[in-house]
């Protein structure tokens, strides 16, 4: 079964850091680009960041550029998102998604709450 499982979310104070992880199974992880997409409570989807199969190409939304870093470990079938200098507006459910011209497989998400 193709599956993505996110972890690492939680409550964090503004200005602090958090690292999200996404464990992939059921497909050849290093064949595909991977992305992070977030959804603030009651709001729509927002693309956060994406990384190619070999980490050679990476992109970020303007809202997180310079604060977030995406990475992957193909040997561990895992995707990561290092989030620094967190702000209240980063509060959201963070999904990882497998991509092949579209986001065809999604995890269930991990909630990040930034609050003092």
Partner 1 sequence: QSALTQPASVSGSPGQSITISCTGTSSDVGGYNYVSWYQQHPGKAPKLMIYDVSKRPSGVSNRFSGSKSGNTASLTISGLQAEDEADYYCSSYTSSSTFRAVFGGGTKLTVL
Q: Which residues bind partner 1 (CB under 8 A)?
A: 33, 35, 37, 44-47, 49-52, 57-59, 61-62, 95, 99, 101-104, 106-109
DSSP for 66-90, please give it: TTEEEEEEGGGTEEEEEE-S--GGG
CA distance 38 to 55: 21
Closer to partner 1 by Cβ: residue 70 or 114 = 70
How far is residue 69 from each of residues 18, 41, 43, 44, 55, measured CA to CA in Å? 11, 23, 23, 22, 12
Closer to partner 1 by Cβ: residue 14 or 104 = 104
CA distance 26 to 102: 18
Q: How far is the CB of 66 from partner 1 (least distance, A)?
A: 14
Q: How far is the CB of 82 from partner 1 (least distance, A)?
A: 17
Closer to partner 1 by Cβ: residue 23 or 45 = 45
Closer to partner 1 by Cβ: residue 75 or 102 = 102
Q: How far is the CB of 51 from partner 1 (least distance, A)?
A: 7
Of 81, 67, 66, 89, the residue nearest 34 (C-alpha): 81
Q: How far is the CB of 45 from partner 1 (least distance, A)?
A: 4
């Amino acid at each position: 079964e193709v599956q993505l499982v996110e972890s690492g979310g939680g409550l964090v104070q503004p200005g602090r850091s958090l690292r999200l992880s996404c464990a992939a199974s059921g497909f050849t992880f290093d064949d595909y680009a991977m992305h992070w997409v977030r959804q603030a409570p009651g709001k729509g989807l927002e693309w956060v960041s994406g990384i190619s199969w070999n980490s050679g190409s990476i992109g970020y939304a303007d809202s997180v550029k310079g604060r977030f870093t995406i990475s992957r470990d193909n040997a561990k079938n895992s995707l990561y998102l290092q989030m620094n200098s967190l702000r209240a507006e980063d509060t959201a459910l963070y999904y990882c998604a497998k991509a092949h011209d579209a986001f065809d497989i999604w995890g269930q998400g991990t909630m990040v709450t930034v609050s003092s």
